Structure formats: C-alpha cells, structure tokens
Amino acid sequence: MEREQMQCAPAGFESHLSANGCPGPDGAEVMDTGADISGTQLLRPTPDHTICVEVSGVHFGKLFPFTIPKPEATWRPGYVKMPFSTSNRQIRFVPGQCGGREVHRWQVIKEALDRPVFKTAKDLVGVIMQYNPKYANVWTFMGLHHYLKQMDHSERQFLLEKLLPQMARLALRLPELCQLPIQLLRVGMKHAISMSQEQIACLLANAFFCMFPHRNSTHHHSEYFNFPSINFNRLFEITSQRTFEKLNTIFCYFRMVTENMPRGLVTFQRCGLDSAIEWKRSQCKLTLLRATSEGTIEDEGKGLLQVDFASAMVGGGVLGQGLVQEEVRFLINPELIVARLFTERLDESECLVITGAQRYSEYTGYSDSYRWARPHHDTTPRDPWLRRQTEIVAIDALKFSDPIEQYKPHFLKRELTKAYCGFSCRVIPDSQRTAVATGNWGCGAFKGDVKLKALIQIMAAAQAQRNVVYFTFGDVNSKTAIQKMHQVLQSRNVTVGQIYNLLEKYSHMAVTRSRPDLYDFIQSNVDCLRGRY
C-alpha cells in the first residue's frame, strides 16, 4: 500500500507553493536564457551559458556540434586543456637514437588508437602508455587485468575485438565533435554548459583511454589539484569486486551509445547564493512531506528534483574505490561523470545541477553488495531542449569526526545553506518548482544524525518553497519518526525560524551525555513557541 501511495505522491507535490507567506528564494541565481513573447524559453548562448551545439538545429530536433572556421583548442587558464590542442606536446624517444624529440601528443594518440582490434589487456595498457610514458613506473593496471581474467571468454573477446575499437574511434572524433572550448566551472562562477550526449560520450571515451593532459598530478601545486580526477587510470589500478562491477556498468554504457547514440542535450549548471539567509528570522511555513521506507530516488523520484549526496569533488570516488549513493548514481547515469572534467570543488554555498542525464543501467545492492544487473532503457520524456526530464542536484554534506559537532550553530547554518542552495536553484529554462526527492543526506560514513539531517532538509525546502519526498531506504522507524515530527510542526504552523531557534537551544544540550532525543526535545518545546520569535 505504501508503494502505491508513493507513486501517486509526486503528482500532488508539483505545485509552486506561494500561499504559505514565504518570500521568493533569497540569493538564488537566475540566468537569462532568453524568452520569446509567449514566454517559451529559447535556447541561446549567453555570457552565463556555454552551448556546445548549433542552437538553430535544437528547435528542429537536430544536434550538430558548434564549429569554428579554424578550430584551435584553447590552452589558456579557465578552459579545459583538450588532448588535440597543438600545445599538448610530449617527448618521443626513438630506439637507437640519443635523446628524443618533441612531438604533438595528439598524433601519438591517433597512431596508438588506430588499430582494428585489441587482443589482450596488455594491448590496451600498451596503447595508454604510449602517450603517458612519464607514468610507466607509476600506474598499474592490476584491476583491469583482473577484470578481463574474470570475464567469460566470449564476453572478453567482444570487449577486446569490437567494443574497445568502437570506443577508440569515438574518442578520436574529439576534434570534430568538441571544437568549442569548454569553460571550467570555477568556485564562485554562476555558469551553465550544455552539450550533446554524443559530445559527452566522446569526452568520456577520451577519459577512459586516459587522454586528458595535466589531469594526473594530485600534488597541492598542480594545476588541477582542486578538480576531481577524470582519467580512468585510478580505477584500472584497483583489484576488487567493486572494480569489476563498476567496469561492467561503464562498459554497458559504452556498448549502448556506440550501438545507438542518443540524440539529446545535457546541461551542467553551477549555482551559488548571493546573500546569506537569516535563518532565525525566517517566517516560512513548512511545505508538504511524504516519507517512505520503500523505493529509490532515481526510480520513485522521477519528475522531481533528485538529490545527489555529493562529495565537494563531484562524483566522489566513482573512479576510485567509492561505491555509495553518489558513486552509484554516477555509474548508472555515466553522463554525470563528465562534470568532473570541468567542475571545481564546490564551495560552502554552491551546488551543481545536471539536467538531462540519461540512465543506462539497472543494479542491485549497495556498496560492497552493488552488482550491475542489466541495461536500462530510459523512456523519460525530453523537454524542448531535447534533454531528458531528469534533474539532479549535487550538494555536499559535512563529514564529522565527532558527531557532536553537527549540532553547533555554525555547522547547522552551513548545512541549511548548502541544502537551500540546492533546493532553490533555478533551472534552465525556468520551470515549475517540483518536489525534492531526497533521503539520509550526509549520514552513514559522514556520521550525520538522520533526524537532524531530515529536519535540516525540510527547513531548507520550506525556505525554497518546495515539497519533499523523503526516502529512508528500508528504515521504517526513521520514516515514521520523520513523518510524525513533520506533522507536529506543520499542525502548529511552526516557522523555519522557530525551528532554528529550537535547534540552537538544543545545541547547548547536545554536548551532555544525558541529552534528550532531538525530536522528543522539539515536540516537548513546540507548544511554548506561540507568540515567540
């Protein structure tokens, strides 16, 4: 019965709540994307929106890469350094000759990948090392070798002799498909990038073959230290069941796109707040909440703003050992991974919104029990910009070594601000404010209190004028407690500011061993709130 109610819930949660006395979002970035006289948003490039395709074709359902008369990849700060740039050089050593000579690295890449088949894992490793010679004694490929050894013979033969050559041909189309320089989304920027799914697939193929220059160094003074990794070399090193399942999921994606390339757009939008929220003075009333212990954000949250429990480095450990909520989402929607190419670490009042990412895989389990199950055929409708109507917002929670810290006012404000930033984002084009599909954000390994984190998100959603669908992932007790607490607060017309003041009061008790349960404390004090604050 609960599942049936859950599936019906979103339809009633999609209205923009404007009758609760809450002002519009303070400080949420609004982008000018252009609108015709009827109010329909037009797709067009602006100083705040880079569009990597010819916009005239989008309105006719056609996607062509943006071309320039003399394509030259930029190599200056602020843009992605592309593998085919003439400034991308390496030293080539010739056997029998003293020293070496500087050559265009893209030429080395083309020679390495221009082969009909790969016979063994060593062939793939040899190709990658031809244009990454400086890492010959640094990178290991034990995870990749182990993966291929575990595969069924026919599957391994298909991968080596058919899929990998197709991926190589896709990667080599980079100068054709991605001529427009890709701007880095740095800290403090409010900017969007829209690119075709074909362009994303090409970029990810380059990442798989470890082609992106200047992205392999991790020391503090390196150029991209504050960016996530993008080349796949780290994943190829790790020998574990997790690597096996991750590669299964990634190869499922590449097989699907090489056989039938999707023809749509995906938008990556970095958003930030322009001003702080005075939480203790907020007069916003709580919006609607549906809590459920069944279902997942990506399945039952269709059509809603879906929360990615992100790392500040978006994607977290997707190309490493991580395999929890964010990494799972980036694996089953691999187009999200390309955000790591151009998104700098998120600041305290920033988020990343991705609209249009397609799902390619189904799975079972979680973390060590995660298993790739089968391909997923995404039937989500597309919007007028040819994007899948799937909107994902990446917000990073704090990780606490001492769980008591999370109740302190400073950290309460930080988490409220982060959640509000994500929930108040303005999408491109501007649309109706759907409900937020979320869950135990920042809990688990980050040691967040489920009850506190749920309340923080409920408050942030109220401030952003969005309803909430809250998933507890099988925890019936949490679902019941969150729903009951919300009912108590809403029935008494408690404001966000009043809840915040109660949390501040509770923070003084949190350091004691005899502190009461958070929800018991709030419920026992809520009747004293009338006429206060």
Q: Among the options 245, 300, 327, 391, which is catalytic?
A: 327
What gap in Å lies between CA 262 and CA 39, rounded to an integer?
A: 29
Cβ proximity of 235 and 247 under 8 Å? yes
- The reply to whether 308 belongs to the active site is yes
Distance between CA 121 and CA 144 in Å, rounded?
A: 7
350 has catalytic annotation: no
Q: Bridge partners of 268?
A: 193, 354
Where are any strands of DSSP class E within 365-449? 371-375, 391-396, 436-438
The residue type at 181: P
The amino acid that residue 196 corresponds to is S
For strand 468-471 and strand 289-292, is the pairing parallel, antiparallel, or unpaired? parallel
Q: Is the Cβ–Cβ distance between 150 and 244 less than 8 Å?
A: yes
The Cα angle at residue 442 between residues 394 and 414, in degrees rounded to 5: 75
361 in helix, strand or coil?
Answer: strand
DSSP reduced 3-state for 283? coil
Report angle CA 397, 399, 401 to the nearest 5 degrees.
160
Decide: helix, strand or coil at residue 291: strand
Contact (Cβ atoms closer than 8 angstroms) between residue 404 and residue 507: no
Q: Which residues contact 234 (CB under 8 A, 6 or more apart)?
A: 319, 320
In this structure, are residues 218 and 225 in contact, taking their beta carbons and an 8 Å threshold?
yes
Q: Give the N- to C-terminal CA distance of the chain in Å, as an integer.
A: 40
Tokens describing residue 103: 């050559």
Other CB atoms within 10 Å distance of the CB of residue 149: 9
Q: Which residues contact 57 (CB under 8 A, 6 or more apart)?
A: 63, 64
- DSSP one-letter code for 231: S
Residue carrying structure tokens 């929800």: 519
Whether 396 is a known active-site residue: answer no
CB 395 within 8 A of CB 419: yes
Q: Which of 245, 300, 326, 383 is catalytic?
A: 326
Return the structure tokens found at 531: 């006429």
Q: Which of 308, 335, 383, 396 is catalytic?
A: 308
Give the contacts of 95 (CB within 8 A, at least 6 positions apart): none
Distances (CA, A) of 142 to 145, 205, 235, 327, 467: 5, 20, 10, 21, 47
Count of beta carbons in the 10 Å neighbourhood of residue 466: 23
Alpha carbons 127 and 132: distance in angstroms, whole number:
9
Q: Which residues have CB under 8 Å from 273's CB, separation 6+?
A: 26, 27, 28, 29, 349, 350, 417, 420, 421, 424
Question: Would you please indicate which residues are annotated as catalytic (active-site) residues?
Answer: 308, 326-327
